[in-house]
Structure 1
Amino acid sequence: MGLLLWLFDATFTIGDQPVLWREVIGNLFGIASAFGGMRRRAWAWPVGIIGNALLLTVFLGAVFHTPNPTNLLGQAGRQLMFIVVSVYGWVQWRRERHPTAGASAEVIQPRWAGTRVRVILVLTLLGGTLALTPLFRALGSYEPVWADAWIFMGSLLATWGMAKRWVEFWLIWVAVDLVGVPLLFGAGYWVSASMYVFYGAFTLTGFIVWARGRPARVAPAD
């Protein structure tokens, strides 16, 4: 309990900006999860869930009375979404594991989503952003609200795509990072913004690794 209380309140300072250790640790869990995803390991999902739980409390700054009182409702909401979809992805990946595979073997086989699914993903990203923007604005999210909505929708689709083993999910993360970096810097979440810069390079690497992993030509309709 003492450790949890310390983790909830502990901060350090960069310049004159207080930073929560929860934000740092949550993002480190996120990096570990992304690395596990690139290596196609099922443990990436529970590791990511831990980071999501920590970051949920960070992005509801006004609710939890943190040093940064800014609420990013899209960022906070996507942590809840991550947890739900990650449970689904964890189950799916464990089912895909070859019964004779050892601990060091690849857990899943990547596949291309196909043209039809790609079009649906793009339209869903754009339509979802348009639909969520007025909702997030009414709830008091940080401006520009469309960026928060874009990040939420992109994160939802990317996580779903990862659960479905679509190689293209890495490119959705790139689109999320391009918007997320300036938004988070503007809102004062410097650590998360810096992590997004790293994620941007990492997701491009992940796309190349998965694309070279001999994915199926087109994903079956499941």
Structure 2
Amino acid sequence: MNPIEWLFDAQLHIGTQTILWREIIGNLFGILSAVGGMRRKIWAWPIGIAGNALLFTVFMGVLFSTPNPVNLLGQAGRQVMFIIVSIYGWIQWSRSRNSTVHAAVVPHWAGNRTRILLGLGLVAGTLVLTPIFRALGSFEPVWADAWIFTGSLLATYGMAKGWTEFWLIWVAVDIVGVPLLVSAGYYASAILYVFYGAFTITGFFIWMRVQRRRRDFVERELTGTV
């Protein structure tokens, strides 16, 4: 059996539950990508893309003949979206790499207008996608699947732009995502979403601290105290 066949067939059995190793590995890649994003490292993007590709095969259960027949179209679709937006983010961070701070992006606030647009976009996207996902046969509650997809899109775009608020969007995604994944039987993803939640809260405060330090440094430069 070659490595690709093993990756697609390998399963972990816990009691009566069957968990694909693809689901575990894909989510571990996601956590590693979150760590890279927290540290503002460009390698966070390609690592995340690899995890997204694996998780797409997991959430389209029927298409890839997985033990879990439940299709979460929002979860599967967001993996494709992640790959597309991650390529954009990878390019953005590569262009804005700052050798002075040894990081790919300088965190900054999005601003009140953008925050309002992000909030409206999250609600509007959920409302628009819910009937579409329901018609395609996504798992109930479909609004939760649509919320996760929309929030993930906005959060990934916010990360690419360097907006510190993107971490809070991930918190909103995780709050809805954990119960949905548990009810759909994707236990590995649900457990790892809890870890995602811890990372997102930590990442938010780390980026705020970076902003504060940079602001203090600029102020000292302007006042000639550096």
Question: Shorter-chain TM-score category?
Answer: over 0.9
Structure 1 residues without counterparts, runs of 5 or longer: 218-222
- The 2-side partners of 1:112 and 1:101 are apart by 20
Instruction: Quote how far apart the aligned CAs of 1:63 are.
Output: 1.0
Which of 120, 123, 130 is equivalent to 1:126? 123
Who is 2:68 aligned against?
Answer: 68
1:77 match: 77
Q: TM-score, normalised by structure 1?
A: 0.94
Deviations 1:85-134 (A, max 9, x none): 00000000011112x459xx222101100000000000000011000000
Please tell me the residue identity of whatever aligns with 2:108.
R
Q: What code does the residue aligned with 1:111 have?
A: H
Instruction: Find the residue that maps to 1:91 and give its secondary structure.
Output: helix
Aligned counterpart, 1:182: 179
1:207 maps onto 2:215 in alignment: no
SS in 2 for 1:42: coil
- 1:41-82 alpha-carbon deviations (Å, 9 max, x no partner): 011000000000000000000111101011000000000000
Give the aligned partner of residue 36 of structure 2.
36
Matching residue's letter, 2:58:
V
Report the residue type matching 1:31 in the other structure: I
Task: Choose which of 136, 141, 160 in structure 1 pairs with 2:138.
Answer: 141
Distance in 2 (alpha carbons) for counterparts of 1:168 and 1:49? 22
Corresponding position: 1:194 with 2:191 = yes
Alignment of 1:47 with 2:44, yes or no, is no
- Asked if 1:163 is matched to 2:160, the reply is yes
Distance in 2 (CA, whole Å) between partners of 1:124 and 1:12 is 38
Question: Stretches of 4+ moved more than 4 A in 1?
Answer: none
**Correspondence for 1:107 among 86, 92, 104:** 104
Q: TM-score, normalised by structure 2?
A: 0.92
Who wins on radius of gyration, i.e. which is larger? Answer: 2
Distance in 1, matches of 2:100 and 2:20, equals: 40
Q: Distance in 1 between matches of 2:60 and 2:135?
A: 16
Q: For residue 194 of structure 2, what is the amino acid of its counterpart? A: V
Which runs of no fewer than 5 residues in structure 2 stay unpaired?
216-226
- Could you give the per-residue CA deviations for residues 154-209 of structure 1, whole angstroms, max 9, x where no partner exists? 00000000000000000000000000000000000000000011111110000000
For the aligned residue pairs, the C-alpha RMSD in angstroms reads 1.4
Q: What SS does the corresponding residue of 1:110 show, helix, strand or coil?
A: coil
2:13 maps to: 13
Offset from partner CA, 1:21-40 (integer Å, 9 cap, x none): 00000001001000000000
In the alignment, is residue 2 of structure 1 matched against residue 34 of structure 2? no
Aligned letter for 1:81? M
Counterpart amino acid of 2:66? T
> For the residues of structure 1 that align with 2:130 and 2:157, how far apart are their CA atoms?
21
Which position in structure 1 is the counterpart of 2:222?
A: none
Query: In 1, Cα distance between the equivalents of 2:204 and 2:163?
Result: 10
